[in-house]
Amino acid sequence: MSGLAFRLKELRKSRKISQKILAGELGVAQTTIANYEQGTRFPDERVLHMLADYFGVTMDYLLGRNDVINVSRDSQLTAGVNYEYSKEDMKFLARHYMELVLSGDKQTANSLIMNEIKKGIKIEDLYLHVFEHALKQIGALWESGQLDVASEHYFSNFTITVMNQLYSYLNNQTRYPYNVILVSVNGELHNIGLRMVSDLLEMAGFKTYFLGSNLPTQSIIKTLEEKHAGILAVSATMDYHVNAVRDLITAVKREEGCREVKIMVGGAPFNLDRSLWKEVGADGYSSSAEEAVTVAKNLLGVG
């Protein structure tokens, strides 16, 4: 039996996954999995990567070349394999990440993401096509009664934990002399989207101050002045928080010391009504964290 045949069978059995389920996840026939496990067929490179991702193990482990099940963060930093990611790969990754987290296997979920970083997935792809996709699936499951609110909290909190580990990967040579202050309005507890905006702006070369939710308006104004902020980024998810966005913008624009500050907004209500950002008095809007970088550059006339 080849190293792969042995390891594949061992991994599948230890995780209590049937050949049929695994075949469904990979989009291949059940007999193909059986052939891999008997050593009569060998997967191509793409399927090998999918298998390693699925089980959260290194390629060497999967091929039976060594017993190091997943790699440490330090070795990941120097590796950089640069694997090409299709939208399908990322959907698969999102689904697998979701399954692992919901099943309580956080170590494997974390290794899965860190291995993708090692292979060269772009942070923006990871955020938008893996985490954002998974979070939206979680929301849909909650809405249809298939998932309880505790699981929604657990999933989003764990995703923030994984994102926190990625800070050292947010580096870029460009440095703009502009500070961006990021807040979610009063009462708004959703702030992962805003956090993604913050991280991608940081990667693009802006200095960011992610303040999260529930800050008094006077404290936001004080921070804008003290940091000589170029941009205030405001997020709202619940539509009943749109008035709070409007009030915050009015208060900031009234302040003499904030005359130069540009205000950018985003979040679900602004994605639903594409002219709402103008109605609340903002200077810019974007529907995604990736686009937010372009909007910020345009507002400040850089890049």
Q: Strand order in 179-184's β-sheet?
A: 207-212, 179-184, 231-235, 262-266, 284-285
Q: Is residue 186 involved in binding ligand B12 (CB under 6 A)?
A: no
Does residue 231 contact residue 261 with C-beta atoms inside 8 Å?
A: yes
Kindly tell me which residue out of 265, 276, 280, 293 binds ligand B12, with binding defined by CB under 6 A. 265
Q: Is residue 68 involved in binding ligand B12 (CB under 6 A)?
A: no
CA nearest neighbour of 2 among 30, 43, 39: 39
CA 254 to chain centre: 35
- Binding segment toward ligand B12, per CB under 6 A, in 40-48, 53-61, 66-74, 139-147: 139-147
Residues 270-289 that bind ligand B12 (CB under 6 A): 271, 286-289
Q: Is residue 150 involved in binding ligand B12 (CB under 6 A)?
A: no
Q: Is residue 124 involved in binding ligand B12 (CB under 6 A)?
A: no
Q: Is residue 99 involved in binding ligand B12 (CB under 6 A)?
A: no
- Give the pair of three-digit tokens for residue 216: 């008094």
Pairing of strands 179-184, 207-212: parallel
With 0-12 CB in 10 A as exposed, 13-18 as middle and 19+ as buried, what is 301? exposed
Q: Is residue 194 involved in binding ligand B12 (CB under 6 A)?
A: yes
- Binding segment toward ligand B12, per CB under 6 A, in 27-35, 52-60, 236-244, 249-257: 236-244
Q: Is residue 138 involved in binding ligand B12 (CB under 6 A)?
A: yes
Kindly tell me which residue out of 26, 94, 117, 193 binds ligand B12, with binding defined by CB under 6 A. 193
According to DSSP, residue 130 is labeled I
Q: How far is the CB of 45 from ligand B12 (least distance, A)?
A: 31
Does residue 265 contact residue 277 with C-beta atoms inside 8 Å?
A: yes
Binding site for ligand B12 (CB under 6 A): 128, 132, 135-136, 138-140, 142-143, 149, 152-153, 156, 187-194, 196-197, 233-235, 237-239, 264-268, 271, 286-289, 292
